[in-house]
Amino acid sequence: MPPKEPMLCAPRECIKGLTMSVHHCQLSDDSWTSCHVLRGTTRLIPQNLVLRVLGVSFHNWVTMGRTILLHLICAFLASWSISLVKAEDAYRYFTWIVTYGTASPLGVPQQVILINGQFPGPRLDCVTNDNIVLNLINKLDQPFLLTWNGIKQRKNSWQDGVLGTNCPIPPNSNFTYKFQTKDQIGSYTYFPSTLMHKAAGGFGALNVYARSVIPVPYPLPAGDFSLLIGDWHNTSHKALQQLLDSGKSLPFPNGFLINGQTQSSFAGDQGKTYMFRVSNVGLSTSFNFRIQGHKMKLVEVEGSHTIQNFYDSLDVHVGQSMSVLVTLDQPPKDYYIVASTRFTKFVANAIAMLHYSNSHNPVSGPVPPEPTYQIHGSMLQARTIRWNLTANAARPNPQGSFHYGQITTSRTIVLSNSAPLFNGKQRYAVNRVSYINADTPLKLADYFNIPGVFSFDSIQSEPSEGPTSMATSVIPASLHDFVEVVFQNDENTMQSWHLDGYDFWVVAYGSGQWTNASRKSYNLVDATTRHTAQVYPNSWTAILISLDNQGMWNLRSAIWERQYLGQQFYLRVYTPVHSLANEYDIPHNALLCGKAVGLHP
């Protein structure tokens, strides 16, 4: 459920992080009052300003004396501080310690990555516009970063937590992330972006609840559950990395997990409705999600309220999240919750239980089978997921008030994925370029004007014939452009593409080759927005993006082997006009590495 709103306290106490009491004020001289005001910092307040606001004349000030004046001033400042607090969005503070531990997700003891001793990591619940201040302490033996999958980091790619924007946190060091869930609601995740750490854990749920003043288009559920579902390998993350570094692909996963287990249980009361927040946190595999004997009402996909269709099962692709409402309207007993792999030669299942609180009957009967439909049926289902035009999202205005289909696109980018071999080793590429990480984050190189780190000329904005190269590739774009992007998949594998810093309208899925004529099939009315889009084998997916968020943003395959071996690049959204209205300055605590060592903002 939503986290509690921060409490406003008496002036002598902590008022939403702001300290104010008569014991914290002193008259510095005849002109100034020194007080602790915002989060413990000291401010000098001109006494003449306070006197004017209080309506106290200079003569009365002299007459009443300094002690009485001090109480008047502090009473004024306490009231003033409360008004400031009410106008400021909440701050939520966290300290997370990343360590290794031992767990047996598939019955075999193995090394996993823990956050505060938990596998998966802690659930991070917050409210629209909350400010998150999270001190991450790395106790691993390798550099480490977390990225916040789907959080837009408005004007703040400094906090994105990928190697193109941040130096990794060295072992036995820390970094404090500071970001805001600006104008967002919905179900998201976080996970490690470094090396193959994601294969060992370190991931968790990140849920952004609507503010109390913004209605949601459904009755509030009796409770909600986060389901982190994904494929799993018994092999350690270091061994998997060595396998990829040697030029080989990952084997088929050893199993499938729900919240780090093969058997989880979720309990509820008969007759009540619950929200299930379902996320694919795996490395490579799409899954189908279903609950025995229950219909699922889809209400939200990655921050967008959807038309509320009912489904027997839903396909969820790597990196994606969605929220469904389920009413416990069946006879009281236990029911299977199933996630099974999709479009794979072998089918693996993750099974959990839905337990009615008044049930005395264990789960029974066969596990609900996977859908009989394949690629075409999955694509048809994807087209039924559409925007709820009349619902509010994070803002008071309805989602449909933004008429994206009436905006003229400023450019078209066509991206074709491939799986080339380099010297007999497996790599992956976009438009014939396989990405390699630089030793200096691209964002720092851009900020400090460090040459030789990346090039705008290394990758083209459409496919072409020729050999594949390796480079640190960046596509430049202008702030406020409205861009059409086509993902062309000529391989016989499922693809999943994610863009940091944005959500985008998924306007079409199609088979074969995309052409200009394919635009006739675009949904320009109620396509939903999301941050991760699937591309079916030998098919294409088209999206529209409003580039309103300046920064250096990672566009990558959400399939981690492909990302690790080069299927990614960065989109630099830029304007030459420097303004805090467009982008925040570099954080004072930014880690510096590579060619940025020794430089100062």
Q: Are 438 and 594 in contact (CB under 8 A)?
A: yes
> How much is the pLDDT for 514?
99
Report yes or no on 423 lying in a domain: yes
pLDDT > 70? residue 471:
yes
**Residue 98 domain-assigned (yes or no):** no
Span 422-449, average pLDDT: 98
Give the whole-angstrom CA distance, residue 208 versus residue 291.
24
Residue 45 — pLDDT band, cuts 50, 70, 90? very low
Is there a domain that residue 514 lies in?
Answer: yes
Instruction: Please tell me the predicted confidence (pLDDT) of residue 73.
Output: 53
Does 198 fall in a domain? Answer: no
Report the pLDDT value the prediction gives residue 26, as an integer from 0 to 100.
43
Cβ–Cβ < 8 Å for 291, 326: yes
Query: Would you say 388 and 399 are in contact if contact means Cβ atoms under 8 Å apart?
Result: yes
Give the pLDDT confidence of 352-406 residue by residue, as tens digits. 999 999 999 999 889 999 998 899 999 999 999 999 999 998 888 999 999 999 9
**395 within a domain of the structure (yes/no):** no
Domain end, chosen from 87, 111, 143, is at 87
Please name which of 366, 254, 320 lies closest in space to residue 529, comparing C-alpha atoms. 320
Question: Could you say which of 29, 56, 87 is where a domain stops?
Answer: 87
What is the C-alpha to C-alpha distance for residues 287 and 322, in angstroms, rounded to an integer? 13
Q: Is the pLDDT of residue 66 over 80?
A: no
Distance of CA 244 to the CA centre of its chain: 26
* pLDDT at residue 157 in the model: 98
Q: Which residues pair with 483 in a beta bridge?
A: 411, 545
With 60 as the cut, is the pLDDT of residue 238 above it? yes
Per the structure, the complete domain to which residue 576 belongs is given by: 400-596
Could you read off the pLDDT of 299-347 as tens digits, one per residue?
999 999 999 999 999 999 999 999 999 999 999 999 999 999 999 999 9
Q: In the chain, what percentage of residues exceed pLDDT 70? A: 86
Alpha carbon distances (Å) from 177 to 173, 231, 260, 463:
13, 28, 25, 37
Contacts of 59 (CB under 8 A, 6+ apart): none
For residue 225, pLDDT beyond 70 = yes
- Asked if pLDDT for residue 37 goes beyond 80, the answer is no
Q: What is the mean pLDDT of the chain?
A: 90
If residue 460 lies in a helix (H) or strand (E), which one and from where to where? none
pLDDT at position 44, please?
A: 43
pLDDT at 596 over 70: yes
Instruction: Tell me the pairing of strands 310-311 and 495-499.
Output: unpaired
User: Chain centroid to CA 177: how far?
Assistant: 14
- Does 437 score more than 60 pLDDT? yes
Q: What is the CATH number of the domain that holds 467?
A: 2.60.40.420
Query: Does residue 481 have a pLDDT over 60?
Result: yes
At 87 the pLDDT is 54
Backbone angles phi, psi at 440, to 5 degrees: -120, 125
pLDDT score, position 128: 98
Q: How far apart are CA 195 and CA 290, in angstroms?
A: 32
Torsion of CA 105, 111, 114, 117, to 10 degrees: 90
65, 87, 109 - which closes a domain: 87
**Residue 474 pLDDT grade (very low, low, confident, very high; cuts 50, 70, 90):** very high
Q: How many domains does the chain have?
A: 2
Q: Is 473 within a domain?
A: yes
In whole angstroms, what is the distance from residue 110 CA to residue 106 CA?
Answer: 9
Residues 149, 508: Cα–Cα separation, whole Å: 23
CA angle centred on 497, ends 496 and 501, rounded to 5°: 145
Residue 85 has pLDDT above 80, yes or no: no
The pTM assigned to this predicted structure is: 0.87
120 part of a folded domain: no
Domain assignment present for residue 407? The answer is: yes
CA angle 522, 316, 566 (to 5 degrees): 80
Burial grade of 88 (CB within 10 A; 0-12, 13-18, 19 or more): middle
Alpha carbon distance, N-terminus to C-terminus of the chain: 41
Residues in the chain: 601
DSSP code at position 294: -
